[in-house]
């Protein structure tokens, strides 16, 4: 609808509504004025009627009062006459007959007896009980007209008396003169003022009792009107003699307008006034007005009901007519627009030329080609448009078209902007009744097609370039991932290797537990690193899962180690709720499953400030060939809002921005976990309530087969214990208590629980008294009230009889603190302890060991992997540029029995291998090295005919890296960090060796007495008991560290604190390695002082102590070296021919240059051949034994210059 039409319609509505508003206002105002006028008029009429009654009753009361006074005054005379009282009665009848308002006139003696009456029947009667007599008698005021309250007579009529008191001459009460007002007369006076059927009038006594209502209504006479809020109360409270009120009548409940008037004539001294009320029903009063209001409202509604729909119908009709007209116009316009648009959008020029060659029409393309406006094109001659040259070219086609022949031709034209365009033209004759009136021109502009073609070619070229760039970026990403893998795995290799070597030493149970947990955590970190590096595979759908048998309990034990480390000091309990009927071994990808559980539980620990985290495993369905298991992690942490539940599974996303700031993290873990669960055939789901916690869960189908059954070497066999024990679980956490109780009950053991240390003591005491003491008591350490340690001491102090209970401490944190407390007491009450979360087998193992049994998961205690020396006799070339990794790999391989030669880079490896291929059984090749890398070295070795197996030992672990190793000519691939078992297995496989059985190691004999402060036993254990190796290291220490105090002092004096701390750190490590613990402690103390910026005096004091302790420790170490590796008995050396010595030196020099370990054998022969000159080679001997071949070459050259050779 056009805007002008809408505005016109809106104006019509506004005008109509304004008129209706004015009509409504007039009607309303008229009704209001009528209503007010009716109210004012009626108020005046009612007030007038009330005044009429007031005047009439006032005059009547005045007459009655005068009559009563006259009777009272005449009474003494009558009393003196013999028949005076008869005359008095006669006189009273005359008064009564003369006064219509009086029904009865009586004279009473002081006792209330009627002594004179206008009605003889009342003579002699006693009315002393009437209120009007009693009130007058009590007050006895002769100057007051007493108006009695209304009372009901013996005839059932309500009446009211007015009384004057009779007094004796001496002022004593002598009786009363009473007049009973005639109710009928009063009613007639009330009735006289009623001018409507809805009206009534009433008289009430001043104390509120209603006397008469006209028309009479049952129950109204005698009714008390003095009620709160009543018309009577409001009138009396106002103190106004007359007023008109509106509202609900308290006596009748009617809505009325009432005129009230107080009757209290000035000439009549009444003790109580009378109140007259005249009222109308307001419903009747305004009845006519309401009829007018309904009529006015009806007329308004009728007017509005006719005018509004009428206007709406009229506007709808006009709108429809106008719409039809607009539609027709729009259709015509659309048709015209369509035709013009169709012609304008045709990909080419369209025009029409008449027979006079003037333009009748040209579309946009036509006009734009020639740079003309529509006005310029209209009627232009074709020659003027084309100019002469083009017209002459086209004229033959124009004439042919005007002759009725269609023309088609190609033309190159110059556009208005000067650019060149390419066209294909069609001239089509316009023939009407065999007459050619003109011709149509259709010209296809093929310039855009050519430009599109060129653009397409450019786009293809750009896409090809982007593809190349994308591939380059992908290669760069792969290179970056590979490089990061290498950079991170290199230190990880050292960490895991050193932990592996540490396990080869003799460790106590706690130390071994720490080492294993450190190794487990490091390997878990490595596993997570692998997953992060492979995240691109997950995104691309190329992640491959392993399918191997695994022990569920071992997976949970590893998870327990990592979760207990993540817990730190948080007040959070981490618990495993494992169903006892779960299969112990399954087939699947344990690393990925452990990663998912670790991520979920780790997140739960991170986002739970206090409370508990429960990892639960429940079988959904168990069959012989498979098991469906629900894995769930529930916490009592911060929870997740409902609208953020799905967002947590998006990569690099957490529930809130504040979550990342507060808790940290990349937000990648849940995304990887969800996809890994999906790859394993499950769906990771979550339910959460903010502030109450979350529950992540998924269900997996895992296979069972013979391989999984072979993993289960021994089932938990509670029967291996002497008898089913009686167990007490003590924990203040209800969930932890129940989980441990379920585990012990699944073994068939009798289990009780206690929620506090105090309750545990009471139960233990009661069990002893009952003759059924507890065999095993598992105690939580940190409990309110009596903690676990104090509880254990109290229970241990009880009289248990012949068998003490096994006390196990099960704690979520504070293991080191607990060990310190154990070490600080003489009488340890505990038999062992476990760190939560605990699996059933961990609990069983701890109990079995504590009771003298055997663990179901017994493993070798230190050096378990390589003590058998399976690589004995193998000669290996280790190519590694990192010194720390050299040390780790070399020592691992040497402990396994191999003979190892080290090359620092690919070039050195190439030189050694080419010169002495026959000396090596295999080559362990790093990939990323400065200079020549592992790939190039391998290719050159293979090109030279090198046949020895080459095994890549690198941190590059992607599939592409493995393929690259094989493509370069390597035989196998071992990833860093090094897994010694995998490395040994690979070497044995590639070298064609069978697994070597470990020889029995004979005892080495008793140890010599240790120097004071030395930990000789642990030091030898670290060297696997190799005493000769200890002696060699001790002599090396004396040679290396004898002057270390001077080097430290020199560096400190020059301000080179970095060198000073490095020297002290090296001294500390070597001293601790050899058991010289006092020296190691002093070196550590001095190192810390140097780092903190000690002053000169303190430094001098520390250095003096350090020199002394270095000297004493060196002497002790040399003594131990002689005891472990005594010098051979002195034998008179046989002089050797000088030519033999020179020959051996000539053979030794190239071996030293090649880092060939044959140099050791040649040098031993040289020492023997040198005879009496052997002592002169001590420094050279030291360098060779330390495999410092570079220093050895320098010493050989020095000896030759000195003429010693």
CATH classification code of 347-445:
3.30.450.20
- Among 191-195, 500-504, 733-737, the range scoring the smallest mean pLDDT is 500-504
Token pair 């609208």 in the structure block, residue: 643
Distance (Å, rounded) from C-alpha 150 to C-alpha 338?
Answer: 104
Q: What is the pLDDT of residues 616-644, one digit of tens each?
A: 999 999 888 889 999 999 999 988 888 87
Distance (Å, rounded) from C-alpha 588 to C-alpha 677?
Answer: 12
Q: What is the 3-state secondary structure (H, E, C) of 432-482?
A: ECCEEEEEEEEEEECHHHHHHHHHHHHHHHHHHHHHHHHHHHHHHHHHHHH
Tokens of 887: 């040390």
Q: Is residue 1153 over pLDDT 50?
A: yes
* Contact between residue 436 and residue 402 where contact means Cβ atoms under 8 Å apart: yes
Q: What is the mean predicted confidence (pLDDT) over 289-309?
A: 87
Tokens of 677: 């669960």
The sign of the CA dihedral 424, 430, 435, 438 is negative
Q: What is the pLDDT of residues 40-88, one digit of tens each?
A: 898 898 899 899 998 999 898 999 999 999 999 888 888 888 888 888 8
Token pair 């200890």 in the structure block, residue: 1030
* Contact between residue 1058 and residue 1035 where contact means Cβ atoms under 8 Å apart: no
- pLDDT-derived band at 356, boundaries 50, 70, 90: very high
What is the model's pLDDT at position 249?
A: 82
Ramachandran angles phi, psi of 1171, nearest 5°: 60, -125
Highest mean pLDDT among 292-306, 457-471, 850-864: 292-306
What is the model's pLDDT at position 859?
A: 38
What is the model's pLDDT at position 753?
A: 95
Tokens of 936: 């190039």
Pick the CATH number of 38-285 from 3.30.450.20, 2.102.10.10, 3.40.190.10, 3.40.50.10490: 3.30.450.20
Distance (Å, rounded) from C-alpha 497 to C-alpha 664?
Answer: 30
- pLDDT-derived band at 687, boundaries 50, 70, 90: very high
* Contact between residue 135 and residue 144 where contact means Cβ atoms under 8 Å apart: no
Q: What is the pLDDT of residues 247-288, one digit of tens each?
A: 888 777 888 899 999 999 988 999 999 999 999 888 888 888
Distance (Å, rounded) from C-alpha 1205 to C-alpha 1148?
Answer: 13
Distance (Å, rounded) from C-alpha 1032 to C-alpha 688?
Answer: 63
Q: Is residue 887 over pLDDT 80?
A: no
Q: What angle do CA 740, 745, 747 make, to 5 degrees?
A: 105
Token pair 């007579």 in the structure block, residue: 153
What is the model's pLDDT at position 661?
A: 40
Distance (Å, rounded) from C-alpha 553 to C-alpha 839?
Answer: 7
Q: Is residue 508 over pLDDT 70?
A: no
* Contact between residue 189 and residue 56 where contact means Cβ atoms under 8 Å apart: yes
* Contact between residue 350 and residue 365 where contact means Cβ atoms under 8 Å apart: yes
What is the model's pLDDT at position 858?
A: 38
Q: What is the mean predicted confidence (pLDDT) over 35-39?
A: 86
Helix intervals (H) in 215-269: 231-238
Q: What is the mean predicted confidence (pLDDT) over 243-247?
A: 89
User: How many percent of the chain have pLDDT more than 90?
Assistant: 20
Q: What is the mean predicted confidence (pLDDT) over 737-761?
A: 92
* Contact between residue 752 and residue 805 where contact means Cβ atoms under 8 Å apart: no
Residues 6+ apart with CB under 8 A from 849: 832, 855
Q: Is residue 868 over pLDDT 50?
A: no
What is the model's pLDDT at position 764?
A: 93
Q: What is the mean predicted confidence (pLDDT) over 527-536?
A: 61
Residues 6+ apart with CB under 8 A from 597: 555, 559, 615, 631, 633
CATH classification code of 873-990:
3.40.50.2300
Strand partners, 361: 352
What is the residue-averaged pLDDT of the chain? 80
Q: State the maximum Cα–Cα separation within the chain, in Å, rounded to a whole number.
A: 202
What is the model's pLDDT at position 759?
A: 95
What is the model's pLDDT at position 4?
A: 79
Q: What is the pLDDT of residues 735-746, one digit of tens each?
A: 889 989 998 888
The sign of the CA dihedral 47, 49, 52, 58 is negative
Going by their DSSP bridges, the two strands 611-622 and 572-578 should be labelled as: parallel
Q: Is residue 1010 over pLDDT 60?
A: yes
User: How many percent of the chain have pLDDT more than 70?
Assistant: 81
Highest mean pLDDT among 149-163, 861-875, 889-903: 149-163
Q: What is the mean predicted confidence (pLDDT) over 961-987?
A: 81
Q: In the chain, what are the domain boundaries? A: 38-285, 347-445, 509-711, 718-850, 873-990, 1016-1124, 1138-1202
In this chain, the answer to whether the domains covering 38-285 and 347-445 adopt an identical fold is: yes
Distance (Å, rounded) from C-alpha 380 to C-alpha 1201?
Answer: 113
- Among 424-438, 488-502, 525-539, the range scoring the smallest mean pLDDT is 525-539
CATH topology of domain 1016-1124: 1.20.120
What is the model's pLDDT at position 694?
A: 93
Residue 972 or 477, more confident = 972
Q: Is residue 937 over pLDDT 60?
A: yes
Distance (Å, rounded) from C-alpha 895 to C-alpha 1087?
Answer: 32
Angle, helices 757-769/788-796, rounded to nearest 10 degrees: 20
In CATH, 718-850 is 2.60.40.10 = no
* Contact between residue 1024 and residue 1001 where contact means Cβ atoms under 8 Å apart: no
Strand partners, 440: 352, 428
- pLDDT-derived band at 477, boundaries 50, 70, 90: low
What is the model's pLDDT at position 112?
A: 93
Going by their DSSP bridges, the two strands 242-248 and 210-214 should be labelled as: unpaired
Going by their DSSP bridges, the two strands 950-954 and 626-635 should be labelled as: unpaired
Distance (Å, rounded) from C-alpha 547 to C-alpha 764?
Answer: 49
Q: What is the pLDDT of residues 557-599, one digit of tens each?
A: 888 877 876 676 678 888 999 998 888 888 898 888 998 998 8
Q: What is the mean predicted confidence (pLDDT) over 314-319?
A: 84
Tokens of 1077: 């613990």
What is the model's pLDDT at position 504?
A: 61
The sign of the CA dihedral 1009, 1015, 1020, 1024 is positive
* Contact between residue 260 and residue 277 where contact means Cβ atoms under 8 Å apart: yes
What is the model's pLDDT at position 658?
A: 45
- pLDDT-derived band at 817, boundaries 50, 70, 90: low
* Contact between residue 865 and residue 981 where contact means Cβ atoms under 8 Å apart: yes
Q: Is residue 890 over pLDDT 60?
A: yes
Pick the CATH number of 509-711 from 3.30.565.10, 3.40.50.10140, 1.20.120.10, 3.40.50.2000: 3.30.565.10
**Rounded to two decimals, what is the model's pTM?**
0.39
What is the model's pLDDT at position 814?
A: 58
CA 1148, chain centre distance (Å)? 71
Q: For the stretch 88-105, what's the b/e string if a residue is b when 16 or more beta carbons lie within 10 angstroms of its beta carbon? A: bbebbeebbeebebbbbb
- pLDDT-derived band at 851, boundaries 50, 70, 90: low
Q: What is the mean predicted confidence (pLDDT) over 949-957?
A: 79
Residue 210 or 999, more confident = 210
What is the model's pLDDT at position 1033?
A: 73
Nearest CA to 285 out of 41, 50, 51, 49 is that of: 41
How many angstroms separate the Cα of 667 from the Cα of each of 663, 800, 894? 11, 55, 44
What is the model's pLDDT at position 497?
A: 67
The sign of the CA dihedral 761, 764, 765, 766 is positive
Helix intervals (H) in 81-111: 84-98
């Amino acid at each position: 609808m056009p805007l002008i039409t809408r505005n016109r319609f809106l104006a019509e509505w506004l005008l109509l509504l304004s008129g209706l508003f004015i009509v409504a206002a007039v009607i309303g105002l008229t009704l209001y004025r009528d209503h007010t006028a009716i109210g004012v008029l009626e108020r005046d009429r009612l007030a007038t009627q009330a005044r009429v009654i007031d005047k009439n009753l006032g005059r009547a009361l005045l007459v009655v009062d005068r009559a009563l006074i006259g009777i009272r005054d005449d009474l003494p005379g009558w009393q003196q006459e013999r028949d005076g009282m008869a005359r008095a009665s006669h006189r009273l009848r005359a008064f009564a007959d003369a006064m219509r308002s009086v029904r009865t006139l009586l004279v009473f003696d002081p006792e209330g007896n009627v002594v004179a009456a206008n009605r003889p029947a009342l003579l002699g009667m006693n009315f002393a009980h009437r209120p009007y007599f009693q009130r007058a008698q009590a007050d006895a005021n002769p100057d007051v007209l007493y108006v009695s309250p209304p009372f009901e007579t013996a005839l059932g009529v309500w009446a009211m008396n007015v009384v004057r008191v009779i007094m004796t001459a001496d002022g004593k009460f002598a009786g009363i003169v009473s007049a009973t007002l005639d109710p009928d007369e009063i009613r007639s006076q009330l009735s006289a003022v009623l001018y409507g059927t809805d009206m009534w009038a009433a008289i009430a006594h001043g104390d509120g009792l209603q006397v008469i209502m006209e028309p009479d209504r049952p129950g109204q006479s005698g009714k008390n009107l003095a009620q709160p809020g009543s018309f009577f109360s409001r009138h009396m409270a106002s103190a106004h003699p007359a007023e008109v009120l509106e509202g609900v009548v308290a006596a009748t409940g009617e809505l009325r307008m009432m005129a009230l008037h107080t009757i209290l004539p000035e000439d009549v001294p009444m003790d109580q006034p009378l109140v007259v009320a005249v009222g109308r029903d307001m419903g009747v009063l305004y009845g006519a007005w309401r009829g007018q209001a309904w009529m006015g409202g009806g007329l308004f509604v009728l007017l509005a009901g006719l005018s509004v729909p009428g206007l709406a119908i009229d506007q709808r009709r006009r709108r429809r007519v106008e719409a039809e007209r607009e539609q027709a116009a729009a259709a015509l316009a659309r048709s015209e627009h369509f035709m013009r648009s169709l012609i304008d959008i045709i990909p080419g020029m369209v025009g029409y030329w008449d027979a006079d060659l003037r333009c009748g029409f040209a579309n946009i393309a036509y006009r734009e080609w020639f740079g003309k406006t529509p006005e310029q094109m209209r009627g232009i001659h074709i020659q003027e448009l084309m100019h002469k040259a083009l017209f002459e070219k086209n004229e033959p086609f124009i004439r042919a078209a005007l002759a009725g022949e269609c023309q088609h031709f190609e033309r190159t034209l110059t556009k208005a902007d000067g650019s060149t365009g390419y066209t294909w033209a069609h001239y089509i004759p316009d023939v009407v009744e065999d007459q050619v009136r003109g011709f149509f021109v259709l010209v296809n502009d093929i310039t855009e097609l050519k430009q599109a073609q060129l653009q397409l070619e450019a786009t293809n070229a750009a896409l090809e370039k982007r593809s190349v760039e994308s591939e380059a970026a992908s290669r760069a990403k792969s290179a970056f991932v590979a490089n990061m893998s290498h950079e991170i795995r290199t230190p990880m290799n050292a960490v895991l290797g050193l932990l592996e070597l540490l396990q080869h030493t003799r460790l106590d149970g706690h130390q071994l537990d720490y080492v294993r947990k450190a190794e487990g955590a490091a390997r878990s970190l490595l596993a997570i690193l692998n997953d992060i590096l492979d995240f691109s595979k997950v995104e691309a759908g190329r992640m491959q899962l392993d399918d191997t048998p695994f022990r569920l309990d071992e997976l949970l034990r590893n998870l327990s180690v990592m979760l207990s480390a993540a817990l730190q000091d948080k007040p959070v309990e981490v618990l495993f709720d494992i169903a006892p009927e779960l299969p112990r071994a399954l087939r699947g990808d344990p690393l990925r499953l452990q990663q998912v559980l670790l991520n979920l539980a780790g997140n739960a620990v991170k986002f739970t400030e206090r409370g508990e985290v429960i990892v639960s495993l429940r079988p959904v369905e168990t069959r012989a060939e498979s098991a469906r298991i629900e894995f769930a992690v529930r916490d009592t942490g911060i929870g997740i809002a409902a609208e953020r539940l799905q967002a947590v599974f998006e990569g690099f996303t957490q529930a809130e921005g504040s979550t990342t700031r507060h808790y940290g993290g990349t937000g990648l873990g849940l995304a990887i976990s969800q996809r890994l669960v999906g790859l394993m055939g499950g769906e990771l789901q979550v339910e959460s309530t903010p502030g109450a916690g979350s529950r992540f869960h998924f269900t997996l189908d895992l296979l069972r087969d013979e391989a999984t059954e072979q993993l289960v070497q021994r089932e938990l066999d509670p029967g291996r214990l002497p008898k089913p024990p009686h167990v007490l679980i003590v924990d203040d956490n209800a969930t932890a208590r129940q989980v441990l109780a379920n585990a012990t009950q699944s073994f068939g053991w009798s289990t009780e629980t206690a929620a506090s240390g105090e309750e545990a003591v009471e139960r233990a005491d009661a069990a002893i008294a009952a003759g059924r003491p507890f065999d095993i008591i598992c105690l939580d350490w940190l409990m309110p009230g009596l903690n676990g340690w104090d509880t254990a001491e109290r229970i241990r102090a009880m009289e248990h009889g012949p068998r003490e209970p096994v006390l196990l401490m099960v704690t979520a944190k504070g293991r080191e603190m607990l060990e310190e407390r154990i070490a600080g007491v003489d009488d340890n009450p505990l038999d062992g302890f476990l760190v939560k979360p605990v699996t059933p087998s961990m609990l069983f193992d701890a109990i079995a060991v504590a009771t003298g049994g055997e663990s179901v998961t017994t493993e070798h205690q230190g050096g378990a992997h390589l003590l058998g020396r399976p690589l004995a006799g193998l000669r290996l070339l280790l190519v590694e540029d990192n010194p720390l990794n050299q040390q780790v790999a070399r020592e691992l391989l040497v402990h396994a029995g191999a003979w190892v030669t080290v090359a620092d880079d690919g070039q050195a490896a190439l030189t050694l291998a080419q010169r002495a291929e026959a000396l090596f059984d295999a080559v362990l090749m790093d990939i990323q090295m400065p200079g020549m890398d592992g790939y190039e070295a391998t290719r050159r070795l293979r090109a030279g005919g090198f046949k020895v197996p080459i095994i890549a030992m690198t941190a590059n672990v992607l599939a592409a890296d493995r393929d690259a190793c094989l493509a370069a000519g390597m035989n196998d691939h071992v990833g860093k960090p090094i897994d010694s078992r995998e490395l040994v297995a690979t070497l044995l496989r590639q070298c064609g060796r069978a697994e070597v059985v470990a020889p029995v190691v004979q005892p080495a004999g008793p140890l010599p007495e240790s120097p004071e402060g030395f930990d000789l036993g642990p030091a030898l254990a670290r060297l696997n008991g190799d005493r000769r190796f200890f002696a060699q290291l001790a002599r090396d220490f004396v040679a290396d560290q004898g002057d270390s105090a001077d080097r430290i002092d020199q560096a400190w004096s020059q301000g080179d604190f970095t060198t000073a701390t490095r020297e002290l750190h090296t001294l500390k490590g070597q001293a601790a390695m050899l058991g010289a613990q006092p020296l190691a402690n002093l070196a550590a103390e001095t190192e810390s002082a140097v780092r903190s910026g000690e002053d000169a005096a303190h430094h001098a004091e520390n250095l003096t102590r350090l020199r002394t302790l270095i000297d004493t420790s060196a002497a002790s170490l040399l003594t131990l070296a002689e005891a472990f590796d005594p010098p051979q008995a002195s034998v008179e050396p046989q002089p050797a021919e000088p030519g033999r010595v020179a020959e051996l030196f000539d053979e030794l020099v190239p071996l030293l240059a090649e880092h060939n370990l044959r140099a050791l054998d040649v040098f031993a022969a040289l020492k023997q051949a040198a005879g009496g000159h052997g002592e002169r080679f001590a420094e050279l001997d030291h360098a060779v034994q330390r495999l410092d071949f570079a220093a050895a070459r320098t010493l050989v050259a020095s000896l030759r210059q000195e003429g010693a050779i």
